[in-house]
Amino acid sequence: MKKDYTYAVARIRGREMSLFGQPVMEQLLSCGTYEEALRFLADKGWGDPEKPLTAENILDAETEKTWNLISEMVKDMSVFDVFRIADDYHNLKAAIKLAYTKKEMDRSRLFVTGGRVEAEAVEKAARERDFTGLPADMAKAGAEALDTLLHTGDGQLCDIILDRASLEETYRAGKAAEDEVLRDYAVLTVAAADIRIATRCGRVGKSLDFTERALADCAELDTEALARAALNGTDAVAEYLEKTAYAPAAEALRQSPAAFEKWCDDLIISHIRPQKYNPFTLGPLAAYILARRNEIKCVRMVLSCRQNSLPEEAIRERLREMYV
C-alpha cells in the first residue's frame, strides 16, 4: 500500500512557520555579542531549558527535536536513510579510532545521534572487532578500515575508506529513494563531496592513486577525469566542472572553498523550495529536514563568528539562503 503523508505534511506546514527566514537571521546577526545571540535563540524557543545555554547544547537540542518530530509522524524511518547514513559512518569512524587508540573519552562529544544504528552498537562492534551486527555495507567498510588502521596505523587511509563507503551508500540509497528530493539530495551530496575531496587532494599534492581511492563512484561525474584534473590544481578541477552538469559550481570553486560550500547548500535549498507547495508525498518532510539542517548550520556559523569576534561581513558572505 502506498504510504500516506497527508497528516505529516499538514503538521510540517505548521512547523515551517517557525523556521528562521532572512529577517530573523538579520535579527540574530544584529545581536552584538555571543551571549546576546544565545539569549535571542533561547527566546525563540531554541535549546533545552534544562541544559546550560551553550551553542553546542542549543544546536544539538534542535537537531534532536527535528528527528523526534519526524519519527513521531513517520513509522518507517528507513525512508530517510539518505540523511542518516553519514551519521552512522561518523560514529563508525569515531568507534574505530577509539578502539585503536584505546583512549577514554567523553562519548557525547564523539558520537552523534540520528543514525540508523545506535552509537553504542557501533562502538561495541569496533571494540570487539565484530561488525556483523551492522548493516552489510557498513560492516564491510568497518572491517576493512579497522584492518587497514591496525596494519598501517594510517588514520587518513582509514578515513578515506569510511568516507568513500559512506558516500557510495548514500548514493545508492538516494537512487533507490521514493522521492525526488531525496534522490537529488543524494546525488548532489556525493558529487559535491567528490569535488571537495578532489580539490583538497590537489591542494595538498596527493597522488593520483590516492585521489582516485578517495573519490566515490557517481554517475554524474567522471571520477577518473576529476582525479586527473585535481593533480593540476583547483583551476583544472573548475575547468573540468565546466564540462559537466555542475558547470555553475566552477566559478564558486575558483572563488573559495567557502563559496563552493555555499553554492552547494543554496542549490539544495533552491531544489527543495517547490516542496512548500506540495501537500502530499514525502518531499515536504525531506525538505523540512534539509531546511532545519540549513537553519542550524547558519546559526552555528553566526555563533562561531560571534564567539571568535569575526566581522559581520565575514558572516554575511557565508550565510546560506533560507527555505522560508
Partner 1 sequence: MDNAGLILALAGAVSAALFAGIGSAYGVGLAGRAGAGAITENPDLFSKVLILQLLPGTQGIYGLLVAFVTLSQIGLLGGGAAELTAGQGLMYLLSCLPIAVVGLISAIYQGQTSVAAIGVVTKKPDQFGKAMLFPAMVETYAILALLNSILAVFSL
Question: Is 8 or 187 the residue whose CB approaches partner 1 more closely?
Answer: 8
Choose, by CB under 8 A, the member of 30, 205, 242, 280 that binds partner 1: 280
Identify which of residues 16 and 60 has a Cβ nearer to partner 1 in the complex.
16
Tell me the site size for partner 1, rule CB under 8 A.
Answer: 15
Which has the closest alpha carbon to 70: 324, 269, 276, 285? 285
Enumerate residues 260-279 that contact partner 1 by CB under 8 A: 279
Which residue stretch of 15-23, 106-114, 241-249, 295-303 sits at the interface with partner 1 (rule: CB under 8 A)? 15-23
Cβ neighbors of 23 (< 8 A, separation 6 or more) are none
Q: Is the CB of 260 or the CB of 288 nearer to partner 1?
A: 288
Computed from CA positions of residues 73, 78, 82, 87, in that sequence, does the dihedral angle turn out positive or negative? positive
Q: Which is nearer to partner 1, 12 or 161 (CB)?
A: 12
Closer residue to partner 1 (CB): 7 or 209: 7
CA-CA-CA-CA dihedral for 131, 135, 139, 142, to nearest 10: -100
**How far is it, in rounded angstroms, from Cα 323 to Cα 118?**
30
- Give the largest CA-CA distance in the chain: 54
Instruction: Record the cell numbers describing residue 290, joined without a space.
Output: 534539509
275-310 b/e (C-beta count within 10 Å ≥ 16 → b): beeeeebbbbbbbbbbbbbbbbbbbebbbebbeeee
Q: At closest approach, how far in Å is the CB of 18 from partner 1?
A: 9
The count of other CB atoms within 10 Å of the CB of residue 2 is 6
Rule CB under 8 A: say whether 7 interacts with partner 1: yes
**Is residue 3 a contact point for partner 1 (CB under 8 A)?**
no
Residue 17 binds to partner 1 (criterion: CB under 8 A)? yes
CB of 113 to partner 1, least distance (A): 24
Which is closer to partner 1, CB of 9 or CB of 125? 9
Interface residue with partner 1 among 1, 2, 14, 104 (CB under 8 A) is: 14
The answer to whether 229 and 195 have CB atoms below 8 angstroms apart is no
| Residue 107: strand, helix, or coil | helix
The answer to whether 268 and 56 are in contact (CB under 8 A) is: no
With CB under 8 A as the contact rule, which of the stretches 8-16, 87-95, 118-126, 127-135 interacts with partner 1?
8-16
- Identity of the residue, 4 or 36, whose beta carbon is nearer to partner 1 in the bound complex: 4
Q: Does the protein bind partner 1 through residue 21 (CB under 8 A)?
A: no
Q: Which residue in 11, 90, 93, 164 binds partner 1 (CB under 8 A)?
A: 11
Q: Does 10 bind partner 1 (CB under 8 A)?
A: yes
The residue range among 10-18, 59-67, 111-119, 164-172 that interacts with partner 1, by the rule CB under 8 A, is: 10-18
Q: If we measure between CA atoms, which residue out of 297, 192, 193 comes closest to residue 248?
A: 192
Query: Least distance from C-beta 256 to partner 1, angstroms?
Result: 37
Q: Report DSSP state, residue 312.
A: H
CB 112 within 8 A of CB 87: yes
10 vs 245, beta carbon nearer partner 1: 10
Site residues (CB under 8 A) for partner 1?
Answer: 4, 6-17, 279-280
